[in-house]
């Protein structure tokens, strides 16, 4: 178990489409454990494996507040099987786009099918923050970021700012 470095915009890894998990191996369990360690350390409420540089369809989520008991969920190969017509606006952030926040509109309620760490298929209906978060994470598995849901103007400005920051870090290092 370990805290891993986060992949930050504009790293091209964030555009990769992640590969499905076929079976729950010790490697997958170790990956999920590293993801949870990294997510709690950040801290964040969700993480997709590509955010630590692993292109596998693994997502971790824990919506518990910092003073509450931890309630981690690991989603393998999560897929949306139904979405509501009703939409909801939520101010989103992303650990790969630090300190940048914008409102994104997504379906308010979704059904998600996934495999758990016991290899069992599960299906859940979620709303509120869990709905926003799982949709944000499934986007990561397909190489999509929340800024891809914004206007081209906002997206381009954001990418430009992070590209500049990356260059400055390079120069400093």
> Tokens for 56?
């596998």
Q: What does the alpha-carbon distance between residue 145 and residue 21 come to, in Å, rounded to a whole number? A: 21
Of 14, 52, 94, 133, the residue at the interface with Ni ion (CB under 5 A) is 94
Neighbours of 45 (CB within 10 A): 20
> Tokens for 151?
């206007």
User: Among ligand GNR, Ni ion, none, what does residue 78 contact (CB within 5–8 Å per kind)?
Assistant: none
Site membership for Ni ion, residue 50 (CB under 5 A): no
Site membership for ligand GNR, residue 94 (CB under 6 A): yes
Site membership for Ni ion, residue 54 (CB under 5 A): no
Q: Is 85 a catalytic residue?
A: no
Site string for ligand GNR, 45-84 (x = CB under 6 A): xxxx--x---------------------------------
Check residue 49 and report its DSSP letter: G
Q: How far is the CB of 171 from ligand GNR (least distance, A)?
A: 26
Instruction: Report cis status (omega within 30 of 0) of the bond before 164.
Output: no
Element (H, E) at 121: strand 121-126
Neighbours of 162 (CB within 10 A): 19
Site membership for ligand GNR, residue 130 (CB under 6 A): no
Of 21, 31, 36, 44, the residue at the interface with ligand GNR (CB under 6 A) is 44
Site membership for Ni ion, residue 45 (CB under 5 A): no
* Positions marked catalytic: 137
């Amino acid at each position: 178990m370990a805290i891993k470095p986060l992949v930050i915009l504009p790293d091209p890894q964030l555009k990769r489409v992640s590969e499905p998990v076929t079976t729950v191996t010790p490697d997958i369990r170790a990956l999920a454990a590293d993801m949870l360690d990294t997510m709690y350390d950040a801290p964040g409420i969700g993480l997709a494996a590509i955010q630590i540089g692993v292109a596998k369809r693994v997502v971790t989520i824990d919506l518990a507040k910092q003073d509450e008991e931890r309630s981690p969920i690991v989603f393998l190969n999560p897929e949306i099987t139904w979405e509501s017509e009703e939409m909801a606006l939520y101010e989103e952030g992303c650990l790969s786009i630090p300190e940048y926040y914008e409102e994104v509109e997504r379906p308010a309620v979704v059904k998600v099918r996934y495999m758990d760490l016991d290899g069992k298929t599960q299906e859940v209906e979620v709303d509120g923050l869990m709905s926003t978060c799982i949709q944000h994470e499934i986007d990561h598995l397909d190489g999509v970021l929340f800024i891809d849901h914004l206007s081209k103007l906002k997206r381009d400005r954001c990418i430009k700012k992070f590209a500049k920051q990356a260059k400055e870090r390079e120069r400093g290092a």
